[in-house]
């Protein structure tokens, strides 16, 4: 029986897989993308913000027509305690200048569109097709098995997301440590665009991004997010898996229900209709938790490699996925010049990543997971800051206390000492 052979097989039609497929097909390679979902994006979850600057030049023809939602013109952070919260809102002229830095996106729309662009370039996408194994011949990955069928290729690119079966079967990924993963729950809530614009103080296609930290995760490592789309809000909670299994027992999905009841959120989503619910694991272990990136006949990109990062003020994975997919494709093109696809030819992928913003970010923020894994950020500080605010704004029946003593009583020697210790750790980020 004749076995079908492609130049490259890409497993997973998420952002990493589609970016690799688009790039390789553009260069005329025969590319097969296998996706287990009903369509590209059907199973993919994100909070909702894509930063374009780092990847703009890798895909110069894509952005004009891409189904982006709103450009983010307002950055907000809410520090949430049990009974109060403090929200800071940043608005800068640079955020309103083209080319815009970041956009909210909806993956079901965006991935489907990106898949079309890859297909237009010549890539073949097969959906409802789950890869169950890799084919290894003489120590070299030479294809995959999907639906009982053997499919061969010069190279396989594993873009099958956070629990990558393909990387595991190829011996590049070990079962992970709960400390290196978080789980996210998200709803897309439809609202009239004018209601969104009025509630968030936005004009036209401007959008807002708001991150919440503290009590929203019951003091556990993680946070909440809210992004405005054209006609909906993306609202969700992310919480560290290790923290979920330790200390006070919390039913993870109920965190999102409680979050929606908070006064800071309830008034923003009022009247909205939940049209989508999803849950997904996120790799957050940073540099030390990355998988091996290449082997004989195989490369690993995106979440499959662990390329997602939470540093508190930003949650990023999508542009790392697209960039690593693009760079994996570049590595394949380089290997083709030699006609060899063994590990020593494909090692150029790691060099390309190291030379790009991807590994430079992972190197720069290698201490972020440890520094942010500090319960005081999610309990003590939110309570302290919001209690100070409450006392600053309070006017009782008697005379008002001076501002300095009002604040100072919350900053005891003990508190200042602990803060100094925390600051020393955060200094590394």
Ligand X SMILES: Cc1cc2nc3c(=O)[nH]c(=O)nc-3n(C[C@H](O)[C@H](O)[C@H](O)COP(=O)(O)OP(=O)(O)OC[C@H]3O[C@@H](n4cnc5c(N)ncnc54)[C@H](O)[C@@H]3O)c2cc1C
Q: Is 15 in the site for ligand X (CB under 6 A)?
A: yes
Complex with ligand X: residue 35 or 69, whichever CB lies closer:
35
Interaction residues for ligand X, span 291-350 (CB under 6 A): 302-304, 308, 315-319, 321
Distance in Å, CB of 308 to ligand X, minimum: 4
Q: Is 303 helix (H, G, I), strand (E, B) or coil?
A: helix
Interaction residues for ligand X, span 268-297 (CB under 6 A): 280, 282
Does residue 27 contact residue 51 with C-beta atoms inside 8 Å?
A: no
Helix axes 107-121, 15-26, angle to 10 degrees: 20
Complex with ligand X: residue 9 or 335, whichever CB lies closer:
9
Complex with ligand X: residue 315 or 380, whichever CB lies closer:
315
Give the DSSP per-residue string, 321-382.
Answer: HHHHHHHHHHHHHHHHHHT--SHHHHTHHHHHHHTSHHHHHHHHTTTHHHHH--HHHHTHHH
23-31, 159-167, 199-207, 331-339 -> range binding ligand X (CB under 6 A): 159-167
Distance in Å, CB of 364 to ligand X, minimum: 17
Q: Is 160 in the site for ligand X (CB under 6 A)?
A: yes
Tell me how many residues contact ligand X (CB under 6 A).
41
Distance in Å, CB of 317 to ligand X, minimum: 2
CA dist 405 and 412 (Å) reads 11
CA dist 263 and 240 (Å) reads 24
Provide the sign of the torsion angle of the four alpha carbons 419, 262, 274, 234, taken in this order.
negative
Residue in 13, 55, 196, 368 binding ligand X, rule: CB under 6 A? 13
36-44, 64-72, 197-205, 389-397 -> range binding ligand X (CB under 6 A): 36-44
Phi/psi at 349 (nearest 5 deg)?
Answer: -60, -45
How many Cα atoms sit within 13 Å of 49 on the Cβ side? 26
Distance in Å, CB of 67 to ligand X, minimum: 16
Does residue 213 contact residue 80 with C-beta atoms inside 8 Å?
A: yes
Q: Is 159 in the site for ligand X (CB under 6 A)?
A: yes
Complex with ligand X: residue 311 or 384, whichever CB lies closer:
311
User: Which positions touch ligand X (CB under 6 A)?
Assistant: 11-17, 34-37, 43-50, 130-131, 159-161, 165, 184, 186, 236, 238, 280, 282, 302-304, 308, 315-319, 321
């Amino acid at each position: 029986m004749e076995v079908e052979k492609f130049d490259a097989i890409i497993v997973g039609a998420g952002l990493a897989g589609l970016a690799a497929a688009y790039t390789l097909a553009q260069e005329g390679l025969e590319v097969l993308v296998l996706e287990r979902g009903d369509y590209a994006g059907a199973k993919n979850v994100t909070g909702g913000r894509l930063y374009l600057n780092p990847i703009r030049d890798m895909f110069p023809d894509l952005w004009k027509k891409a189904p982006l939602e709103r450009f983010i013109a307002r950055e907000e952070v809410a520090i949430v305690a049990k009974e109060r919260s403090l929200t800071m809102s940043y608005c800068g002229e640079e955020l309103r200048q083209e080319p815009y830095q970041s956009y909210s996106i909806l993956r079901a729309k965006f991935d489907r569109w990106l898949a079309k662009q890859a297909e237009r370039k010549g890539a073949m996408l097969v959906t409802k097709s789950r890869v169950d194994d890799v084919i290894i011949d003489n120590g070299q990955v030479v294809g995959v098995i999907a639906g009982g069928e053997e499919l061969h290729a010069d190279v396989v690119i594993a873009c099958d997301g956070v629990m990558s079966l393909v990387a595991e079967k190829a011996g590049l990924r070990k079962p992970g440590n709960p400390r290196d993963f978080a789980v996210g729950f998200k709803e897309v809530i439809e609202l009239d665009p004018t209601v969104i614009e009025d509630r968030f103080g936005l004009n036209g296609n401007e959008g807002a991004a708001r991150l919440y930290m503290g009590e929203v995760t019951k003091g556990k490592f993680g946070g909440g997010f809210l992004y405005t789309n054209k006609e909906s809000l993306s609202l969700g909670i992310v919480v560290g898996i290790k923290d979920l299994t330790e200390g006070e027992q919390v039913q993870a999905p109920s965190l999102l229900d409680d979050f929606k009841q908070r006064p800071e959120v309830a008034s923003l989503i009022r009247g909205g209709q939940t049209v989508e619910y999803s849950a997904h694991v996120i790799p957050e272990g940073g540099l030390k938790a990355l998988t091996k990136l290449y082997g004989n006949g195989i490369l690993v990109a995106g979440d499959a490699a662990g390329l997602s990062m939470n540093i508190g003020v930003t949650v990023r994975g999508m542009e790392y996925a697209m960039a690593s997919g693009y760079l994996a494709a570049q590595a394949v093109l380089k290997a083709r010049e030699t006609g060899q696809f063994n590990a020593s030819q494909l090692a150029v992928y790691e060099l390309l990543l190291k030379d790009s913003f991807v590994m430079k970010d992972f190197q720069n923020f290698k201490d972020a997971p440890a520094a942010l894994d500090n319960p005081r950020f999610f309990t003590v500080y939110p309570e302290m800051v919001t209690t100070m605010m409450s006392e600053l704004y309070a006017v009782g029946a008697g005379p008002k206390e001076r501002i300095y003593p009002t604040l100072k009583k919350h900053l005891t020697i003990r508190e200042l000492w602990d803060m100094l210790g925390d600051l020393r750790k955060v200094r590394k980020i």
